Amino acid sequence: QGIRNGAAWITGAAREIFAAYLRSRILESGFLLLCCLPGLLRCRIPYALLFSVLISIGNLIPFLGSLLATGFCVLLLLAIAPVKALWFVLFILALQQLDNAVIYPRIAGASLGLPAVWSVTAVLIGARLCGAAGAFLGVPVMALCWRLAMEAAGKRSPTP
C-alpha cells in the first residue's frame, strides 16, 4: 500500500510539473513575441510579424530552438534585405541573452519551484545527454528530482 501511494504521489507530481513546464514555455514564448515584434518594427525589419512568430515558436525548445529559428530568418533576410539582416541578428542576439539569462530561469523556476540556477543547469545537462529532447525535458526532470529531494528531506511540497 505504501509503495502504491508513493508511486501515485510521484506520478501526480510528474504530471503537475510537466503541465506547469509547458505553461511556462508558452508564457515565455509569448513574452518573447511581445518583446521581439516592437523591436523588429522599430528596426524596420521586413516581415517583422512573421519573424517574431517564428522566433517565439522556435523558443519552445530552450536555448537552441530560437537560434535555429534565427538562422532561418537570417537566410530569408539575406535574400530580401541584406543590410537589415545584420540589425536583425544584433537585436535577436541581445534579446536571446536577456531571455536565456534572466527571463527563462525566472519563469521556469517560479512555475516549477526550482531555483533558477538549476533550470539553466538542467537544460545544459539535458542537451548534453540527449540533444534537443534533453534540452526540452531537462527542466521538468530536474524539477521532479528537486521535489523528490525536498520530500526526502522532509520539506514536503504541496500535494499534486
d(CA 122, CA 144): 11
| Counted domains in the chain | 1
C-alpha cell at 39: 523591436
d(CA 110, CA 31): 15
- The answer to the question of residue 160 being in a domain is no
Single-letter amino acid code for the residue at 69:
A
Residue pLDDT, tens place only, 15-74: 999 999 999 989 999 999 999 999 999 999 999 999 999 999 998 877 678 889 999 999
- The answer to the question of residue 69 being in a domain is yes
- The answer to the question of residue 120 being in a domain is yes
Question: What does pLDDT average to over the chain?
Answer: 88
Single-letter amino acid code for the residue at 132:
A
- The answer to the question of residue 39 being in a domain is yes
Give 129: exposed, middle or buried? Use CB within 10 Å, 0-12, 13-18, 19+. Answer: exposed
User: Model's pTM, two decimal places?
Assistant: 0.78
Residue 61 has a pLDDT of 78
Mean pLDDT of 65-87: 93
Q: Which residue has the cell 541578428?
A: 89
C-alpha cell at 51: 519573424
- The answer to the question of residue 107 being in a domain is yes
- The answer to the question of residue 80 being in a domain is yes
Determine the structural domain holding residue 105 and report its residue range: 2-152
* Res. 160 pLDDT band, cuts 50 70 90: very low
Is residue 82 pLDDT above 90, yes or no? yes
Mean pLDDT of 80-100: 92
- The answer to the question of residue 157 being in a domain is no
CB 24 within 8 A of CB 60: no
- The answer to the question of residue 123 being in a domain is yes
